Amino acid sequence: MGRRENALLMSLKGANVTLLDYSDVALEKAQTLFSQFNCRARFIRGDALTIPNYLINNFDISMSFGLAEHFKYPQRQQIFNFHFILLKEKGISFISVPNAFCFPYRIAHLFLK
């Protein structure tokens, strides 16, 4: 899950935000971050590979940054599918998957070691 800065930015711009993670610790960190900025969100403990029915067709936007690369096929395809079944008609999804061969990624990776 990371810290969900992108979701926080959406919330700061007035969006109703929902965050999903399997980790209670990650959700607590996200709640702390949101409270520091006086932002509200819905925090759901769950697995991105098992979608709760009440989330299907419920969102205008779905997004993840740095999630899909942690999975191999067929689970990675499930992650992509998950983003799209969440969307209402005419919804849009943003999915960012780092490319290990991308030069800026390699440089950042070296500095993080």
What is the pLDDT tens value at each position of the chain, 113 positions in all? Answer: 455 888 999 999 999 999 999 999 999 999 999 999 999 999 999 988 998 899 999 999 999 988 888 888 999 999 999 999 999 999 999 998 877 777 777 787 788 77
Same domain (yes/no): 30, 74: no
pLDDT confidence of residue 109: 75
Instruction: Return the number of other C-beta atoms located less than 10 Å from residue 15's C-beta.
Output: 14
Give the structural domain span for 41: 1-46
Question: For the chain, how many structural domains are there in total?
Answer: 2
Same domain, 60 and 111: yes
Nearest to 3 by CA among 22, 29, 25: 29
User: Are residue 56 and residue 40 in the same domain, yes or no?
Assistant: no
Same domain, 8 and 38: yes
pTM > 0.85: yes or no: no
Alpha helices in 1-113 (DSSP H): 5-12, 24-36, 75-85, 103-112
Amino acid identity of residue 30, one-letter, is A
E strand or H helix that includes residue 20 = strand 18-21
